[in-house]
Structure 1
Amino acid sequence: MIHWRRGTVSSVTGGWGPVVTVDVELDEGGVMAALADTPLVGTPRVGDTVLLNASALLKGLGTGGQALVVAIPDALPPDPVDADGARPPGHIVKARYAPLQTMVLALEEQESAHHEAMAGHPQVVAGDLEGMPVVAAELHSALPAVVAGIHADRPGARVAYVMTDTGSLPLGHSRLVAAMRETGMLTSTTSVGQAYGGEHETITLHSALLAARYVLGADVVVVAQGPGNAGSATPWGYSGISQGEVLNTVHTLRGRGVAVLRVSSADPRGRHRGLSHHTATTLGRVVLGSADVPLADDDDLSPGLREAVEAVCASATGRLSPVLVPTGGLDEALRACPVPLATMGRGYTSERAAFVTAAAAGRHAAALL
């Protein structure tokens, strides 16, 4: 269902990357904040009439407090063209069959400059990452802490981000990723499956990981869904369960999977305090191959955490290897992180356990390089 609203842009309030934020005076009265994904709908200006999707905002969901601009009917953007005025290459459709489906140039496809490598590179054909470390996180908010942990020990490491399609589909909606690219924390971004808007696009996660190593020159890859983790307070109904499928893909491609534990010392929901039930299910039941499970060597993070992790690893369907990671210097690296650290509305001070745990996973990945 969609809650439609129509109104007039009264002010442009900001933006980042491809995103522009505006205030809209609604035809029915009142003002609504809205977000425009400009590659899809164009750039709204003061005085433009806009159509909005207000469903998530009216439900109070985690959309950043804004409706979404669906169209600027009196100022439609021109058809995309390349430098020669022709239609740009690319025939892979993402967000398929949705009203705002978009066409992209995927790394794998025939029109791509990288098609030959994706079709003929021996290691790509073999599906062999040759042990490249791939860090898999459930929450998008873990991304900067993981990378801070990598760079604490390997400041020159080339870190690629691969975004799956179980959270936000537009990668450009992530303020974190925009800031991390601007500060150099990440060297490339790739959106996978139905997700779109990365610097690179792929049809599958398998292609994204192989391209990261053999086309984009990454040393380590961090994979996570975009903003907007969905949950239901049920054992299997949460979008972050895709973390397990990521680790299975890494195992299939002969990479070195590194799992980020979802840990909290401040979450008001008991099921997420200490070791989240999401992590216990994902690692214990969904992961079928092998993966490393870094655990910060700091007993102050969460009472009983080490025992809980070791129990999950011991009874898991897959072959999970718990690894104690020293935490010396990680707090300093996190405090010096050039982008904000926040998870579920809580920052580093109130949720140190979550960020140190994620940074420990990054430190372990750095040790594998």
Structure 2
Amino acid sequence: MRIQWETAVVTETVGEPLSSHSLQEVRVRLGNGETAAALHDLAVGTPLRPGDEVLLNTTAVRLGLGTGGVHFVHAKLGRLDESVDRPEVPVGINPQEPETQDRLRPTGPQEGHIMKLRYTSLQRAVLSVEEPSSPHHALFAESRTLSGMPVLIGELHSMLPAAVCWLRELVREAGASVPRIAYVMTDGGALPLAVSGHVRRLRELGWLAGAVTYGHAYGGDVEAVNKYTALLAARHVLEADLAVVCMGPGIVGTGTSYGFSGIEAGELVGAVHTLGGAPVAMARISFADPRPQHRGLSRHTAVALGQAALASACVPLPLLPAEAEAALLREQVRRSGLARRHRLRWETPPPLEHMAAALEAYGRPITTMGRAWQDDPAFFSAICTAAGTAYRLLRNGGPDKS
């Protein structure tokens, strides 16, 4: 294990941070003259300005990784024209005395006692929804269920905006009241919610009732310890009618059968089932991905649902128009054994022009592995097919029994 550290100087700031719990984007100049973008977590430091000297974690960029492939500011070292910024303790003050500790203790709202990123230099305390000091503690001291709430489960972060766009389109077509949709972010990808431009956009549009972050993911409207309480928080704290659960930006894969972070999708099926919800799995399907393991039905989906899932889910699958693609997908599904574990629903996906119009309402590009719907229609068709099934379950008021 190694970490690559490099020093740099901030040359400019990019945009304005949304809050004290978001990420600040800056441009930096490294020692070799290279300029690059870097992200600064405002939860652990004040906003940066041009001229600040910073210590960067450049590991992912130097390794050429897509996941986490950006520089992160670890600490502010000082300024080019000033001495190093360090908090000063007045002369004659003993920092160990209780009276002095009270004076030096940060003021502000109670942040809670549950640590995320535990036992690292960046561990931080959050107010977890379950803990005794939380106003919602009593909810979790009782036996609660999801009361049949549909839960869309996905492997990739790009599935979130596409699913929400299609849900909104179905609501518009039906002339129905807009359901409350919550996003539950796992810790399988990015840990800070603020990294997600999609969540930021969905919030701008008012399309999310809120976000829950669990495990070591942080920054949601609600923090939770694990997937079970996160799902319950979506239902009972955010009062969601429907939830979408998937990791933040980035996914880990190793080219091996079980060595990928998206295997959590199978575990999530079990959690939703245990809590009395209606799990609906979004299959990862592509005929544009050049990698053999992701052509047609992704091997990740086949393993997560075919082996890791210990409970049954509804798995909607699109009836693809291209005969060769449809035949391959059916054969892959047959070999995966999904039908033995889950309730498969082969359905006609929405017309591409209809799907495109729904995605266009988002006002920002939605891509998967850099591909838009025009480049990878099967991927988006599968998501919209699953979202349509979840919406019907919501309208019908209960879990799928077919």
Instruction: Provide the TM-score with structure 1 as the length reference.
Output: 0.91
- Asked whether 1:354 is paired with 2:379, we answer yes
CA deviation vs aligned residue, 1:91-126 (integer Å, no higher than 9, x gap)? 000011121111100111111111122223xxxx1x
Residue 77 of structure 2 aligns to a residue whose secondary structure is coil
> Which residue matches 1:197?
219
Segment of structure 1 superposing worse, 314-323 or 70-79: 70-79
- How many aligned positions are there? 361
Query: Is 1:27–2:50 an aligned residue pair?
Result: no
CA RMSD of the aligned region, Å?
A: 2.4
Say which is worse superposed, 110-119 or 191-200, in terms of deviation: 110-119
Which residue of structure 2 aligns with residue 3 of structure 1? 4
Q: Contact 1:144/1:180 (CA < 8 Å) preserved in 2?
A: yes
Q: Partner of 1:109 in structure 2?
A: 131
Does residue 148 of structure 2 align to residue 144 of structure 1?
no
Q: Which residue number corresponds to residue 39 of structure 1? A: 43
Stretch of structure 1 that moved more, 58-67 or 305-314: 305-314
Distance 1:321 1:63, change over 3 A: closer
Distance 1:348 1:321, change over 3 A: closer
Among the aligned pairs, what percent are the same residue? 42
User: Could you tell me which residue of structure 2 aligns to residue 58 of structure 1?
Assistant: 62
CA distance, structure 2, for counterparts of residue 264 and residue 275 of structure 1: 7
Q: Is the 8 A contact 1:89 1:111 kept in 2?
A: no
TM-fit CA distance, 1:16? 5.6
Unaligned runs of 5+ in 2: 79-84, 89-100, 173-177, 395-402
Q: Flag the structure with more relative contact order, 1 or 2, with Cα contacts below 8 A and sequence separation at least 6.
A: 1
- 2:267 maps to 245
CA distance in 1, matches of 2:368, 2:166: 17
8 A contact 2:296–2:329 mirrored in 1:
no
Q: Is the 8 A contact 1:95 1:169 kept in 2?
A: no
Q: Are the counterparts in 2 of residues 284 and 312 from structure 1 also a CA contact under 8 Å?
A: no
Q: Verify: 1:345 aligned to 2:374, yes or no.
A: no
In structure 2, do the counterparts of structure 1 residues 321 and 30 end up closer, same or farther at CA, with 3 Å as the change threshold?
closer
Please give the per-residue CA displacement for 1:134-165, whole angstroms capped at 9, x wherever unaligned.
00000011111111121121251111000001
Gaps of 5+ in 1: none
Q: Do the aligned partners of residues 137 and 179 (structure 1) sit closer, same or farther apart at CA in structure 2, a change above 3 Å counting?
A: same
Structure 1 residues 72 and 260 mapped into 2: Cα distance closer, same or farther (>3 Å)?
same
Q: Please say if residues 325 and 364 of structure 1, whose CA atoms lie closer than 8 Å, have aligned partners that are also in contact.
A: no
Tell me by how many angstroms 1:199 deviates.
1.3
- The alpha-carbon deviation at position 306 of structure 1 amounts to 4.7
Look up the SS of the partner of 2:15 in the other structure.
strand
Q: CA separation of 1:206/1:65 partners in 2, compared to 1, >3 Å: closer, same or farther?
A: closer
Change (3 A) 1:64 1:210: closer
- Counterparts of residues 93-242 of structure 1 (less than 5 Å): 93-120=115-142, 125=143, 127-155=144-172, 156-242=178-264
Distance 1:222 1:330 in 2: 19
**Aligned-pair CA distance for 1:197:** 0.9
Change in Cα spacing, 1:87 to 1:16, as seen in structure 2 (3 Å) is: closer
For the 8 Å contact 1:10–1:25, the answer to whether it is kept is: yes
Letter matched to residue 13 of structure 2: V
Query: What's the offset of the Cα at 1:29?
Result: 3.5
Q: Which residue of 2 aligns with 1:335?
A: 360
| Corresponding letter in the other structure for 2:273 | H
- In structure 1, how many angstroms separate the alpha carbons of the residues matched to 2:357 and 2:109? 49
- Give the Cα separation in 2 of the matches to 1:229 and 1:129: 27
Cα 1:62–1:41, aligned 2, differ >3 Å: closer, same or farther? farther
Distance between the aligned counterparts of 2:335 and 2:243, measured in 1? 25
2: CA distance, partners of 1:255 / 1:105: 26
The one-letter code sitting in structure 1 at the alignment partner of 2:369 is M
Q: Distance in 1 between matches of 2:376 and 2:237?
A: 37
Q: Which runs of 4+ in 1 moved over 4 A?
A: 75-79, 312-317
- Structure number with greater Rg is 2
Q: Which amino acid aligns with 1:322?
A: R
